[in-house]
Structure 1
């Protein structure tokens, strides 16, 4: 288990036309979301990290502020920055979290001039609207359609036959009012843990759940099989995540030293691929496959939902949602629901 962030100066490529702050944010947000960092782990100070990377302190401070706003770090006055995400052990979505949700809802109603009794009536009316719903309505918010469909298929066996799960992308969420409305009406909107705050900002009235993802077993096996002498090209579709590619490959292929990173629209991409013995591409950059010559190992750096998070957190949360739904139906009907019989 890692107990500190792995931030090597070589991960930040100052020769790229991508701001170093953008690279650093992508690197840190990924590691905070995917690496095994216990909650409350102290992060390097702004001064220390700026000195290590050779970049301005104001840039590092801005990155820490963005990580705080994304819900990934906690800033403690006079002490510094600490990780906020907990490793999967036990559900954080119990009675205490529900009481917090209720308190937040009451505060929002008060700001809008809605009395507690009116709020109860609104909740009852919403429960009645859900009464005929066949199971839970689940929406998964992904980045790219192809990988997103795979994630939906991965989560589907965890749901009951009466549940419904569908996919939307972040772009759809940003551009389509109908998609945002569907998320608000769903029982739960599931997304990557490091995208949770972003989705909450897009649909503040939706019930958003951040799920932890880790590199898939197939990805780890493929990385372990790489020839230690190989010249490896690691390619991402998103410039924000250029800085994560090298440490992500090195984590499961520490025997490989020659790793060159780029993004899928770089003008020198063809030359990079031609001079490589193996090509790894992040989800969404699968079109680079067409540029790889036959016989050269080429595979996707794919993630999958963390089994520990599914078992310890997500499944109990789904069970809690079902209990809430059942209780709401009982309250509206004044008696047992059909599912109780």
Structure 2
């Protein structure tokens, strides 16, 4: 009774509850009953890709089965089955008495380590001191890089495997990550499908990098002892810029490769095209896809659907909705894991 009166009096909910309510509203609003995809599949995709793309960070509390079912107007069993599948894949976890949360897939690779926080504070103090002395941050970075280079000769060279859904886009991810590696390190791109077809020797790679929501899957596919780092991704700057330039009166069509990505992709495109009102979406296997493509002024397609652009007239605009590894995830998750491996004794073949 007291809680009810407090709520009626306008007392703000705790921050964690407010964030959960925001998550609940975002998930419910993204469900689209006009899509040719079951709501359960949409919900699973919204959570999976929300984790992969940084929309749902580790530790984020999710709504209960009952609360989500009531708010979304769908069967509790549908929500329960989705949560069960996500728990089995290690993406979410249930804490008795506390609720359901996005799993902490990075607990072993340094994301929340006290050592990293301590170093970050020291870096901040160093930059503050440099600013007081009139030194630019770029000069400080150059000094740190030069100092680190002198100590790299004895550090271990690493062989890294980048695993994604499509080889071309995964190679682009690998190229981005390569910029953060030492010249003697190597990084090779491959796909989940290729790994399933040809299991790897445990001595071929020192580290695997993949999308955040595929980390558990990679740990099951790879030989024991190969650490796996899951990264979150963000829309590329090029994609955001191109979407912002679309004519407000244009007929924009979106094509998704994966059914579970449809409910996530459409609002993702609309986020950068709020000025466009005529937007529709199709799955790449839709029977009316050829007619749909011909009716558009602008096509926005998911990576992996490049081949459909050949069916567009030459004057039509086609934009690939590209993602890139989140720089913050590289800094806070991948680089600590890499530096930890450099100090370890390599495996003997």
Band of TM-score, shorter chain? 0.7 to 0.9
1:281 aligns with 2:301: yes
Question: 1-side partners of 2:211 and 2:228: how far apart?
Answer: 10
Matching residue within 155, 170, 178 for 2:192: 170
Matching residue within 301, 316, 323 for 2:321: 301
CA drift at 1:135? 1.5
1:243 aligns with 2:263: yes
CA drift at 1:305? 0.8
Question: 1-side partners of 2:29 and 2:70: how far apart?
Answer: 10
Is contact 2:255-2:284 (8 Å) kept?
A: yes
CA deviation digits over 1:118-156, x for unaligned, max 9?
xxxxxxxxxxxxxxx971111111111111111121111
CA drift at 1:236? 1.2
Q: 1:196 is paired with a residue of what secondary structure? A: helix
Matching residue within 232, 235, 244 for 2:252: 232
Task: Give the aligned partner of residue 125 of structure 2.
Answer: none
Give TM-score scaled by structure 1 length.
0.75
Pairing 1:1-341 to 2, within 5 Å after superposition: 3=19, 4-5=22-23, 6-9=26-29, 11-13=31-33, 16=36, 18-85=37-104, 91-92=110-111, 135-177=157-199, 180-181=200-201, 185-203=204-222, 205=224, 206-325=226-345
Is contact 1:93-1:317 (8 Å) kept?
A: no
Give TM-score scaled by structure 2 length.
0.74
Q: 2:320 is paired with a residue of what secondary structure? A: strand
CA drift at 1:86? 8.5
CA drift at 1:21? 1.7
Residues 157/247 of structure 1: CA separation in 2 closer, same or farther (3 Å cut) = same
Residues 149/10 of structure 1: CA separation in 2 closer, same or farther (3 Å cut) = closer
Residues 227/76 of structure 1: CA separation in 2 closer, same or farther (3 Å cut) = farther
CA deviation digits over 1:57-112, x for unaligned, max 9?
1111111122223333221224432233589xx93275999xxxxxxxxxxxxxxx
Residues 143/23 of structure 1: CA separation in 2 closer, same or farther (3 Å cut) = same
Q: Which runs of 5+ in 1 are unaligned?
A: 98-132, 333-341
Q: 1:304 is paired with a residue of what secondary structure? A: strand
Question: 2-side partners of 1:283 and 1:218: how far apart?
Answer: 14
CA drift at 1:285? 0.6
RMSD value over aligned CA atoms? 2.9
Q: 2:292 is paired with a residue of what secondary structure? A: helix
Is contact 1:11-1:247 (8 Å) kept?
A: no
Question: 2-side partners of 1:192 and 1:38: how far apart?
Answer: 13
Is contact 1:11-1:246 (8 Å) kept?
A: no
Residues 221/265 of structure 1: CA separation in 2 closer, same or farther (3 Å cut) = same
CA drift at 1:35? 3.5
CA drift at 1:281? 0.5
Task: Give the aligned partner of residue 4 of structure 2.
Answer: none
Q: 2:179 is paired with a residue of what secondary structure? A: helix
Q: Which runs of 5+ in 2 are unaligned?
A: 1-17, 117-154
Question: 2-side partners of 1:139 and 1:279: how far apart?
Answer: 32
Q: 1:7 is paired with a residue of what secondary structure? A: helix
Using the TM superposition, name which of 2-11 and 163-172 deviates more: 2-11
